[in-house]
Chain A
Amino acid sequence: MSACPKILSQHFDVPNAHKIEVYCSRGGYTSARKVLTEMGAEQVIEEVKKSNLRGLGGAGFPTGMKWGFIPRQSKKPCYVVINADEGEPGTFKDRYILCLDPHALIEGVIIACFAVKSHKAFIYIRGEYVEPVRIFRGAVEEAYEKGFLGKGIFGTDYSLDLIIHVGAGAYICGEETALLDSLEGKKGFPRLKPPFPAVKGLFNSPTVINNVETLACVPHIINKGAEWFSKLGCEKNGGTRLYSVSGHVKKPGLYELPLGTSLKEIIYEHAGGIRQDLILKAVIPGGISSSILKANEIDIRMDFNSLAAAGTMLGSAGIMVMDETTCMVKALLVATRFFAHESCGQCSPCREGTGWILKIVERIWEGKGRPQDLDNLIDISQNIEGNTICAFGDAAASPVISYIKKFRGEFEHHIKTGSCDLVEAALK
């Protein structure tokens, strides 16, 4: 079993960890103070670059490099936007940070804003997170009262405001440019890139958008050094990762482990293995958008590069486990229903394609499948892929292609017999 350094989750079990006194008593805000009083902006960016911290919302883009893209001489204000939309099914890590260690996030925000010379940050929290919003709002108020936010932070001439913006229910707003449109009071429609947000983002100004988990890592990097952080992970993937594990495991929950921990180890050693000791059938490794893995493919390192090489992705590290009782047709129906429901409707291939896919999968599930349905599903999916403004189209296509590719026999059987007796047989 991998050693389990508690970095992001080290305060989770501490009583009242969300209170500023508790956070400060455990060394909190010393990194932000150090940055503001002893370091320069470029030095902070260099340190984050050296740490090999990558965006943990799903895309995995190097964080220091992203900060470095902000034009240094821009006359416009620069904004930092924290993506706390967390809508990827299978993922619940950011909720834990917001509720159990909100000051680590606020400290990360202060450091990020200082590094890119921003004086205003917006955190976009999904509307369903009523309790996390309440807790985080309390933490922000505490930080203002202590003088860690507002004017003249830590006795310097640096000032920063952090605004909490609550969303209203739309998965697409987790996509960074859709989030910006939503923050500007519009429907959450993704924008064409370029221009990238670093050049033209919120209110047409240079903008950095980072995920909650990413920013919560930053104080630890400053505190213990980039080298320490980079060594926690693997090549080009610094730090640990919060893995959200759910589905047919004995101990669903949030597990902090090094990047690159084996998926098999996470399921069988940390999450306790498969419920009732049934046989594993499949695993979604990185949220519902990631391609599915068969049981014999889980001996794999959970890092961005290893999963990409296996044709899937680490994404949000939301691991969903399926045992032998799972009907893959029904599972695909659940996934396609989600994408059809959440397509923003801006691009025709996605708007029309996701609805069309859903109709076909529903038909198969209802026992009215046709022999040509599977090839049609693949064809429609491949025609969505790469033909939309944002990555949602690709995300909608990948489950369809991977479920059919890996469980084609089961889909064909379902079309032929109109039933799920393969699953029933597995249980006999």
Chain B
Amino acid sequence: MIKNSDFTYQYKLELEQIMSQYETKRAALLPVLNLAQEKYGSLSPEIEKAAAEYLDLPLMQVREVVSFYTLYHTKLKGKYHFQVCRNMSCHLLGCEEIIEYLKTRLSIDVGEDSEDGRFSLSTVECLGACEIAPMMQLNDRYIGPLTKESMDEILSKILSEQKI
């Protein structure tokens, strides 16, 4: 369990560096939340409270920002987070088939996490890489064009703990 003070105490230097770049405390909110999510994997109510206290903001202003942006999540994601793009170019080149295949292989539905905490599956609206459609973001990496074969290869690497 993260205590309110842990985040601001542990990452004091990084937070001070962020704060020094902005004219107002509030402007540092997104970078502060980005840092917190990078360190803890998700934004718990405790983290929201810590960010609000650190930036002298009402908790509600932090919460409304957390709920507005799609990259913030309030629950931990699996170790491998598959985010398949489903916008136009990916749709035209068969992302639906890729999503269905991943659902079967990972045994989870879109929006779900596997019980062992290993996998999460999401669909996203355009990742800005239409030239490699159909594509996905696997954790930080962009991968495409995707085929069932290329996904089998990725999954076998993950299952044998190899670098992707």
Give residues in A with beta carbon < 8 Å to B.
86-92, 94-95, 126-131, 161, 163, 165-171, 182-188, 203, 244-248, 252-254, 284, 288, 318, 320, 322, 326, 330-331, 334-335, 337-338, 341-342, 344
A-B pair number, CB within 8 angstroms: 140
Nearest-CB residue, chain A, relative to B137: A128
Give 16 A-B contacts (CB < 8 Å), ordered by A residue.
A89-B130, A90-B88, A91-B130, A128-B127, A163-B21, A168-B69, A171-B126, A186-B61, A187-B64, A187-B65, A244-B130, A253-B131, A331-B91, A335-B88, A338-B87, A344-B68
Whole-angstrom CA separation of A182 from B140 in the bound complex? 22
- Told that A163-B22, A169-B70, A320-B89 touch, could you supply 14 new A-B pairs with CB distance under 8 A? A89-B89, A91-B128, A127-B71, A128-B71, A128-B137, A161-B21, A184-B24, A185-B24, A185-B55, A188-B68, A203-B27, A247-B89, A252-B132, A318-B130
- Pick the residue among A127, A184, A248, A322 that contacts B34 (CB under 8 A): A127
A contact face: mostly helix, strand, loop, or mixed:
mixed
* B125 sits at the interface (CB 8 A): yes
Nearest chain A CB to B129's CB is how many angstroms away? 6
A329 to chain B, nearest CB (A): 12
Q: Among A88, A92, A288, point to the contact of B129 (Cβ < 8 A).
A: A92
Give residues in B with beta carbon < 8 Å to A.
21-24, 26-31, 33-34, 55, 57, 61, 64-65, 68-72, 86-89, 91-93, 124-133, 137, 140-142
- When distances are taken between beta carbons in the complex, the residues of chain B under 8 Å from A322 are 92
How many angstroms from the CA of A330 to the CA of B57 in the assembled complex?
44
A246 touches B87 (CB 8 A): no
Task: A169 to B67: give the CA distance in the assembly, Å.
Answer: 11
> Closest CB-CB distance, A112 to chain B, in whole Å?
19
Contact B27 A168 (CB under 8 A): no
- Among B22, B69, B131, B142, which residue has its beta carbon within 8 angstroms of that of A131? B142
**What are the residues of chain A within 8 A of B70 when measuring CB–CB?**
168-170
Say yes or no: B92 contacts A244, CB within 8 Å: no
Of all chain A residues, the one with the shortest Cβ separation from B30 is: A168
Is A254 in contact with B86, judged by CB distance below 8 angstroms? no
Q: Which of A94, A126, A331 contacts B88 (CB 8 A)?
A: A331
The answer on a CB contact under 8 Å between A334 and B24 is no
Across the A-B interface, the 3 shortest Cβ-Cβ residue pairs? A185-B29, A168-B69, A169-B71
Complex alpha-carbon distance, A284 and B126, angstroms: 15
Partner of A170, one of B68, B86, B133: B68
Residues of chain B within 8 A of A87, CB atoms compared: 126, 128
